[in-house]
Amino acid sequence: MSEPRISVFGPVAAEIDGTPLRLSKSRHREILGIFITARGHSVSTAAIIDDLWDEPGTNAVGAVRTFIGELRQLLEPQRQPRTAPRVLVTVGDGYALRLSPESVDVWRAERAMAEAATAEPQRADALLTHALQEWHDEPFAEFASRPWAQAERARLSALRADAVERLGDARLALGRAEEVVRLLDSHVVAYPWREAGWRMLALALYRTERQAEALATIRRAREHLADGLGLDPGASLATLERQILRNDPALELPDRNRSLLLRTASAHSRTGSRAQLESASTLLPGLAVSGGLDVAAQERMAAIAAAEQFGDSDLTARIVGGYDVPGSWTRSDDPAQSALIVEAALRMLSQLPESASGRSRARLLATVAMESRGTADRGAEAREAERLARRIGDPSLLCFALAARYMQSFETAGLAGVRERIGAEIIEIARDAELPTFEIHGRIIRMQALCALNDLSAASAEARAIDTLAARHERPLARVFPAWFRWTFAAASELPPSGEEMPGFSRGLPALAAVTAVLRRDRSASELPDGDFGPYEPWIRPLLLARAGQQAEAATALDAVPDPPLDLMLEVSWSLVGLAAIEVGHAPAAERAHSALLPAANEHAAGSGVVSLGPVADILGELSAMLRSA
What is 502-529 written as a DSSP string? -HHHHTTHHHHHHHHHHHHH-TT-S---
Q: What is the mean pLDDT of the chain?
A: 84
* C-alpha span between 474 and 468 (Å, rounded): 10
Report the pLDDT value the prediction gives residue 77, as an integer from 0 to 100. Answer: 85
Mean pLDDT along residues 4-33: 89
**Res 556 pLDDT > 90:** yes
The residues pairing with 15 across neighbouring beta strands, listed in sequence order, are 5, 20
190 and 223 in contact (C-beta within 8 Å)?
Answer: no
* C-alpha span between 430 and 424 (Å, rounded): 10
Report the pLDDT value the prediction gives residue 276, as an integer from 0 to 100. Answer: 56
Percent of residues, the chain, with pLDDT higher than 90:
34
The helix or strand, by DSSP H or E, that contains position 294, with its residue range, turns out to be helix 293-309
Q: What is the pTM of this model?
A: 0.58
Angle at 471 between CA 300 and CA 480, to 5 degrees: 65
Three-state secondary structure along 383-403? HHHHHHHHHHCCHHHHHHHHH
Mean pLDDT along residues 138-162: 87
Closest CA relative to residue 291, chosen from 470, 476, 467: 476
The residues pairing with 149 across neighbouring beta strands, listed in sequence order, are none
Q: Identify which has the larger pLDDT, 447 or 342.
A: 447
* C-alpha span between 405 and 466 (Å, rounded): 21
CA-to-CA separations, 611 to 45, 498, 512, in angstroms, rounded: 72, 14, 8
Mean pLDDT along residues 4-17: 88
Helix (H, G, I), strand (E, B) or coil at 44: strand
Q: Identify which has the larger pLDDT, 276 or 400.
A: 400
Helix (H, G, I), strand (E, B) or coil at 349: helix
Q: Identify which has the larger pLDDT, 322 or 168.
A: 168
The helix or strand, by DSSP H or E, that contains position 5, with its residue range, turns out to be strand 5-7
pLDDT tens-digit readout, 156-173:
888 888 889 989 988 888
Report the pLDDT value the prediction gives residue 352, as an integer from 0 to 100. Answer: 78
pLDDT tens-digit readout, 489-538:
887 666 676 555 566 677 888 889 999 999 998 888 888 998 889 889 99
pLDDT tens-digit readout, 342-393:
888 888 888 877 777 788 889 899 989 988 887 888 999 999 999 999 999 9
DSSP secondary structure, 570-629, as one string: HHHHHHHHHHHHHHHT-HHHHHHHHHHHGGGTTSBS-TTSS----BHHHHHHHHHHHHHH
**Res 46 pLDDT > 80:** yes
Mean pLDDT along residues 204-232: 84
Neighbours of 134 (CB within 10 A): 22
Q: Identify which has the larger pLDDT, 629 or 601.
A: 601
Percent of residues, the chain, with pLDDT higher than 70:
85
**Res 271 pLDDT > 60:** no
